Every structure is written in structure tokens, then in C-alpha cells.
């Protein structure tokens, strides 16, 4: 029974609240929302305390005024208030967010709902407008966005610092390139990246580091002609970054790239120059899996990365060229050391012979065994050794001068046919009894050469033929005139060369293994000197042999003086 009485009382209370005046009071007391009615033509009809608090007007000031004054000038100018009312009328309800103006002219960010009010028959009798101030929430959102942006920027700056530190430690070009692709990819979330630098001739870009691309698209050491259509080469040619946010943008801005882009699994690209003090050192390219428009911050990051990358590449290049120069210098010193040690070694034996002969003569005198015939023999031995030493020193000096480029040629026009004839004649007269045949063209063969050096080379070819073939063997010498040069061929029928040793005999101290095995005297300098002498004359020298015991053919080619120039 008691509960039914309570229910009765509750119903009475609800009926009291349903009373219109009471409901008005309720709306009036709401402070967090501006709730007011508008006439069909947009004039303020009612005003609650929330509206007064939000907009600053008291009821008597604003009732009867147009609601347009709540809008900003810009929105009034484009007829925004009327549009909203029209929309509310047709849709029944419209929601809007935007700046609204208070009585004092200050602005707040408002969330507005306008509802059309109709009577029982559907005639418009006005609008209900509920406005909420979202300024604080909006500011909080802005703050969050700004904080996120700041965090992203800070992160990029940190990545840039990490990159700078890592790049500073990179001493090789490929290391610097690897760091660039890695940082670029990770920071901007690219699916693939590559770094390329120009080839020495500047005609192409060579890929230094690459990741994320299929090998048929781009691989290490691949060379792209700078005229080829790629984002990389576009950036290289223009010295400007190339940002391609989507395939559509490629079509609009770089139609020449469409062919390449068609085959690419990627959807957006960025290529930035690696540039230092205006000097282009390379390109960093990033490819994205999805269309991607880089914001100014991200572009700034890439350009900055390009700059520190260029510094690193510059440094690495310097370091590498220094290393190379040092390596070459060390190799030259080592070669010089080896040369000196072999040279000194080879000089010791003839010096020992001179000394031994002199001491032997001394001993004979001391022992009273002085015998003219013996004494003469010792003197002859000293003489021979001294001659050998002299020739050896001359050869060693030649090798050294040729190696350091200090050999001076006194070039003049030389008639090669005559010179060859003279030298062959000289050799024919020696006691070793080799039989020479000489075949030469009837016309003159003129070469521009140092006659003494040319004689030295020809003499060396013939002395080799004599030295490495049996007494009485036949040696053929032939001169062959060609279009632009002349070939001198010296063929013997001697010990030949073991297979594969044809080139080695032209190296300093290089000799055929069969020559040393047979104890044929020689240092292995003559042909090395000849080769270098021929090369400084713009010619070539080479050897051929069918193998050990098959004889050797030495060939010399020299450019001839053209008949026109000679006359």
C-alpha cells in the first residue's frame, strides 16, 4: 500500500515538471549550452542563461535581433547563416562546427545544432538552436597535433644527428651510402632506397647501395646513363629534388618517367641531390609502397640528409683517394726496394771476381810465383768483370730511368732498313757462326726514334736470338711494312720458351725458366729495357714460341713516319 502512495506522489511531481513554465525554467537554467529559438526569418525569440554566458548578450538586448550577428564576417559575406537555416528547413536538422562571435567580438569554436520547429500541420514556426563551446576541446586537439608534430620533428632531428654521427665514421663510399639508404628508409617509412654517385666520366650514375628493389629493377654497381628516364637522373640533371607523390603526379609532372613507373611496384618516389657547396656528389632515392605526399617537414629532413650525405661522400672519396695514393706509393717503394736488392745482389758477384783476381795476383807476387802468362790471365779476368759490371750498371740505370720517366730521347728520323742491315752485319761477323737471313722491303722505312736507343733494342733482339740458339743456328730477320707501322721479326731455332712465359720475359729480372736452368748468363734486364724503350717510342714488343726447344720469335712494331710528313 505504501509503495502505491509513493508512485502517486512521483506521478504528481512529473506532471508538475511537464508544466510548460517549468520546462522553460529548466532550459533557462542550463549553463553549458546556449539554447534559444529563432523565428522562421532568423530572429532570436528566446534566450537562456547558457546563451547569455556563452555569447555575452542579455535577453533583452538580443531578442528580436537577427542571429546572423553570431557568425563571422567572412561567413556572413558568403551567406552561410541563411544556408544553414535553409538546410535545417529541408533536412529538419543541421549540424555545424565553426567559429562564432561573442558580443565583445571575441571568437569561440562552436558545435551547433539547428532543428526546424513545425506545428501539428507541418508549418514552420521557427528553429531551435543549441550551441556548445568547443574552443577548449579544439585547442586541446590542436595541442596534441602540435605535440605530435613536434615529437616527429624531434625524432627526425635525432635521426639526422644519428646519421651525421654514423656518416662521420664512414670512411668508405659504400659505407656512407649504406647509412643514407638505411636512415632515409626508416625515417620516412619507404619500401626501398638507393644511393648513386656519378662515374668518373660523368656519363652515368653508379648505384653504390641499394635495398628493397628487386634485382631486375636496380642492383649494386648498376650504371644508369644520366640521360635515362629515372627519378634519380631527373634530380641529377636538374640539381633539384624530385618528389612524386603518386602515379598521377608522374603523369602530370614527369610524363617521360611513365614507362619506368609502369614497371615499378611502387606508388610514390622521392629523389634528392647529395650536394655540398653547390657541388652534386650523388642522389638518394626513396620509393614508397603507397601514394605518399611528403610534408614540408619531411622534405626538409630529406634535403638535410642529402647535405650531410654529401659531406660524408666527399670525405669518403678523399679518404679513398688518399688510401689509393698511399698504396701506390708503398708499392712503388717496395718495387724500388726489391729492384735495389736484386741489383746489389747481381753486382756482388762480378765485384767478387775483380777482388779475387786482384788478390790472386797479389798472392802470386808475395809467393814469388810471378809468371807473366798467369798475371795476364788475372788482368784479363779483372777486365772482363769490369766490363760486365759496367754493362750491368748501365742496364740498371736504364731500368731505373725508364721506371721514373727520366729517360730523355733524342728523336730524329731514322732509316730502319739501314740500321737493321748494319746490326745484322755486325752479328754475322762474330765467331759464333750463326747464319743470318735478312728480308726487307726495297723502299725506305723511316721511323721517328732515338737512333742510339733503337739500336739498343734491335741489338738486344739479335743478342737474345744468338744467346738462346745453338752455334751455327739460323736466324731470320724480317722487316714488314704495314699501313701505319713496321714490324721487325727476329726468329731463332733455339731453346724456345716454356708455354705461358712469353710475357714474363719482358718484366725486369724476368727470364725463361729453361734459360736459368741451362745456366745461360743473364739478368733478365735486356728485354725489359727494350719493351719500355719501344713503348716510349709508341710501339709494341712481344714474343711467341711454340714451346721449349721450338725456337723463339721476337716481334717489334713501330709507327712509321708517313711519306707525306717526310717530304
Per CB under 8 A, does 356 bind another protein?
yes
CA-angle at 422, arms to 416 and 423, nearest 5°: 90
Determine the size of the site formed for another protein (CB under 8 A).
Answer: 27
DSSP character at residue 278: T
Closest to another protein by CB, 259 or 368: 368
Closest to another protein by CB, 50 or 350: 350
Closest to another protein by CB, 52 or 346: 346
Q: Which three cell numbers stand for residue 455?
A: 739500336
Per CB under 8 A, does 386 bind another protein?
no
Closest to another protein by CB, 263 or 431: 431
| DSSP bridge partners of 486 | 481, 558
User: What span, in angstroms and rounded, lies between the C-alpha atoms of 78 and 62?
Assistant: 23
Closest to another protein by CB, 505 or 541: 505
DSSP character at residue 482: -
Per the document, the length of the chain is 567
Closest separation between CB of residue 322 and another protein, Å?
33
Give the one residue of 69, 138, 384, 540 binding another protein; rule: CB under 8 A: 384
Closest separation between CB of residue 384 and another protein, Å?
6
User: What span, in angstroms and rounded, lies between the C-alpha atoms of 252 and 243?
Assistant: 12
Closest separation between CB of residue 357 and another protein, Å?
5
Site string for another protein, 465-504 (x = CB under 8 A): ----------------------------------------
E strand spans, 181-256: 192-198, 204-211, 223-225, 242-244
Per CB under 8 A, does 517 bind another protein?
yes
- Residue 43, CB half-sphere, CA atoms under 13 Å: how many? 7
* SS (HEC) of 493-546: CCCCCCCCCCCHHHCCCCCCHHHHHCCCCCCCCHHHHHHHHHHHCCCEEEEECC
Give the one residue of 153, 222, 246, 381 binding another protein; rule: CB under 8 A: 381
User: What span, in angstroms and rounded, lies between the C-alpha atoms of 375 and 277?
Assistant: 81
Per CB under 8 A, does 338 bind another protein?
no
User: What span, in angstroms and rounded, lies between the C-alpha atoms of 557 and 497?
Assistant: 21
Closest to another protein by CB, 168 or 520: 520
Give the one residue of 293, 341, 376, 437 binding another protein; rule: CB under 8 A: 341
Closest to another protein by CB, 20 or 366: 366
Give the one residue of 240, 293, 336, 349 binding another protein; rule: CB under 8 A: 349
Answer yes or no: are the C-beta atoms of 211 and 185 closer than 8 Å.
Answer: yes
Closest separation between CB of residue 363 and another protein, Å?
7
Give the one residue of 3, 296, 519, 567 binding another protein; rule: CB under 8 A: 519
Q: Which range of residues in 219-227, 276-284, 417-425, 517-525 is near another protein by CB under 8 A? A: 517-525
Answer yes or no: are the C-beta atoms of 102 and 91 closer than 8 Å.
Answer: no
Q: Is 360 helix (H, G, I), strand (E, B) or coil?
A: helix
User: What span, in angstroms and rounded, lies between the C-alpha atoms of 155 and 183?
Assistant: 12
User: What span, in angstroms and rounded, lies between the C-alpha atoms of 261 and 429?
Assistant: 79
Closest separation between CB of residue 476 and another protein, Å?
29
Q: Which range of residues in 147-155, 236-244, 474-482, 511-519 is near another protein by CB under 8 A? A: 511-519
User: What span, in angstroms and rounded, lies between the C-alpha atoms of 417 and 526?
Assistant: 22
Q: Which three cell numbers stand for residue 420?
A: 737493321
Per CB under 8 A, does 437 bind another protein?
no
User: What span, in angstroms and rounded, lies between the C-alpha atoms of 284 and 211?
Assistant: 12
Q: Which range of residues in 205-213, 270-278, 358-366, 522-530 is near another protein by CB under 8 A? A: 358-366
Per CB under 8 A, does 354 bind another protein?
yes
Least Cα distance to 186 among 159, 147, 150 occurs for 159
Closest separation between CB of residue 385 and another protein, Å?
6
Least Cα distance to 193 among 184, 201, 205 occurs for 184
Closest to another protein by CB, 245 or 360: 360
Q: Which range of residues in 81-89, 102-110, 381-389, 469-477 is near another protein by CB under 8 A? A: 381-389
Closest separation between CB of residue 353 and another protein, Å?
4
Closest to another protein by CB, 240 or 369: 369
Closest separation between CB of residue 359 and another protein, Å?
4
Closest to another protein by CB, 363 or 426: 363
User: What span, in angstroms and rounded, lies between the C-alpha atoms of 203 and 225?
Assistant: 6
Closest to another protein by CB, 123 or 367: 367
Q: Which three cell numbers stand for residue 541?
A: 714488343
Q: Which range of residues in 99-107, 220-228, 291-299, 350-358 is near another protein by CB under 8 A? A: 350-358
Closest to another protein by CB, 89 or 377: 377
Least Cα distance to 302 among 396, 163, 414 occurs for 163
Give the one residue of 287, 385, 491, 530 binding another protein; rule: CB under 8 A: 385
Least Cα distance to 462 among 433, 420, 502, 510 occurs for 420
Closest separation between CB of residue 548 and another protein, Å?
15
DSSP character at residue 152: H
Q: Which range of residues in 230-238, 243-251, 254-262, 352-360 is near another protein by CB under 8 A? A: 352-360
Per CB under 8 A, does 348 bind another protein?
yes
Per CB under 8 A, does 346 bind another protein?
yes
Closest separation between CB of residue 368 and another protein, Å?
12
Crossing angle of the two packed helices 2-18 and 20-29, in degrees rounded to 10: 70
Burial class (CB in 10 A: 0-12, 13-18, 19+), 548: middle
- Residue 171, CB half-sphere, CA atoms under 13 Å: how many? 6
Q: How many CB atoms within 10 Å of residue 564?
A: 6
Binding footprint of another protein on the chain (CB under 8 A): 341, 345-346, 348-357, 359-360, 363-364, 367, 369, 378, 381, 384-385, 516-519
Amino acid at each position: 500500500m505504501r509503495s502505491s502512495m509513493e508512485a502517486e506522489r512521483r506521478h504528481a511531481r512529473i506532471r508538475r515538471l511537464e508544466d510548460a513554465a517549468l520546462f522553460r525554467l529548466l532550459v533557462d537554467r542550463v549553463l553549458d549550452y546556449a539554447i534559444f529559438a529563432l523565428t522562421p526569418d532568423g530572429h532570436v525569440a528566446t534566450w537562456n542563461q547558457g546563451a547569455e554566458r556563452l555569447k555575452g548578450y542579455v535577453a533583452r538586448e538580443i531578442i528580436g535581433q537577427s542571429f546572423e550577428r553570431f557568425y563571422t564576417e567572412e561567413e556572413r559575406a558568403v551567406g552561410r547563416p541563411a544556408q544553414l537555416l535553409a538546410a535545417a528547413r529541408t533536412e529538419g536538422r543541421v549540424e555545424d562546427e565553426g567559429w562564432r562571435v561573442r558580443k565583445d567580438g571575441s571568437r569561440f569554436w562552436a558545435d551547433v545544432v539547428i532543428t526546424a520547429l513545425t506545428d501539428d500541420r507541418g508549418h514552420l514556426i521557427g528553429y531551435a538552436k543549441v550551441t556548445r563551446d568547443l574552443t577548449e576541446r579544439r585547442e586541446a586537439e590542436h595541442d596534441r597535433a602540435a605535440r605530435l608534430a613536434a615529437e616527429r620533428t624531434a625524432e627526425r632531428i635525432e635521426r639526422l644527428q644519428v646519421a651525421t654521427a654514423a656518416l662521420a665514421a664512414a670512411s668508405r663510399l659504400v659505407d656512407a651510402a649504406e647509412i643514407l639508404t638505411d636512415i632515409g628508409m626508416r625515417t620516412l617509412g619507404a619500401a626501398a632506397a638507393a644511393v648513386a654517385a656519378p662515374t668518373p666520366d660523368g656519363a652515368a650514375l653508379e648505384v653504390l647501395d641499394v635495398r628493397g628493389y628487386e634485382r631486375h629493377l636496380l642492383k649494386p654497381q648498376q650504371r644508369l646513363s644520366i640521360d635515362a628516364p629515372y627519378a634519380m637522373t631527373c634530380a641529377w640533371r636538374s640539381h633539384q629534388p624530385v618528389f612524386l607523390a603518386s602515379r598521377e603526379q608522374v603523369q602530370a609532372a614527369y610524363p617521360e618517367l611513365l614507362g619506368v613507373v609502369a614497371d615499378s611496384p611502387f606508388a610514390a618516389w622521392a629523389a634528392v641531390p647529395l650536394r655540398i657547396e653547390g657541388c652534386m656528389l650523388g642522389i638518394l632515392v626513396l620509393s614508397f609502397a603507397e601514394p605518399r605526399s611528403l610534408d614540408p617537414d619531411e622534405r626538409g629532413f630529406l634535403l638535410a640528409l642529402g647535405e650531410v650525405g654529401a659531406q660524408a661522400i666527399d670525405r669518403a672519396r678523399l679518404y679513398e683517394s688518399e688510401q689509393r695514393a698511399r698504396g701506390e706509393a708503398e708499392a712503388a717503394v717496395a718495387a724500388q726496394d726489391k729492384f735495389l736488392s736484386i741489383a746489389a745482389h747481381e753486382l756482388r758477384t762480378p765485384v767478387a771476381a775483380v777482388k779475387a783476381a786482384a788478390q790472386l795476383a797479389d798472392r802470386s807476387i808475395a809467393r814469388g810465383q810471378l809468371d807473366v802468362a798467369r798475371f795476364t790471365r788475372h788482368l784479363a779476368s779483372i777486365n772482363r768483370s769490369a766490363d760486365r759490371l759496367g754493362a750491368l750498371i748501365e742496364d740498371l740505370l736504364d731500368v731505373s730511368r725508364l721506371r721514373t720517366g727520366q729517360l730523355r730521347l733524342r728523336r730524329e728520323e731514322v732509316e730502319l732498313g739501314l740500321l737493321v742491315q748494319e746490326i745484322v752485319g755486325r752479328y754475322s761477323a762474330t765467331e759464333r757462326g750463326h747464319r743470318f737471313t735478312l728480308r726487307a722491303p726495297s723502299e725506305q722505312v723511316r721511323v721517328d726514334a732515338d737512333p742510339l736507343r733503337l739500336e739498343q733494342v734491335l741489338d738486344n733482339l739479335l743478342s737474345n736470338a744468338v744467346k738462346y740458339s745453338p752455334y751455327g743456328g739460323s736466324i731470320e730477320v724480317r722487316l714488314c711494312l704495314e699501313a701505319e707501322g713496321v714490324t721487325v721479326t727476329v726468329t731463332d731455332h733455339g731453346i724456345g720458351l716454356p708455354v705461358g712465359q712469353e710475357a714474363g720475359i719482358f718484366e725486369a729480372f724476368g727470364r725463361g725458366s729453361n734459360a736459368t736452368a741451362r745456366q745461360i748468363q743473364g739478368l733478365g734486364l735486356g728485354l725489359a729495357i727494350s719493351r719500355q724503350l719501344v713503348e716510349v717510342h709508341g710501339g709494341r714488343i712481344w714474343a711467341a714460341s711454340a714451346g721449349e726447344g721450338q725456337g723463339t720469335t721476337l716481334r717489334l712494331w713501330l709507327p712509321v713516319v708517313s711519306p707525306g710528313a717526310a717530304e
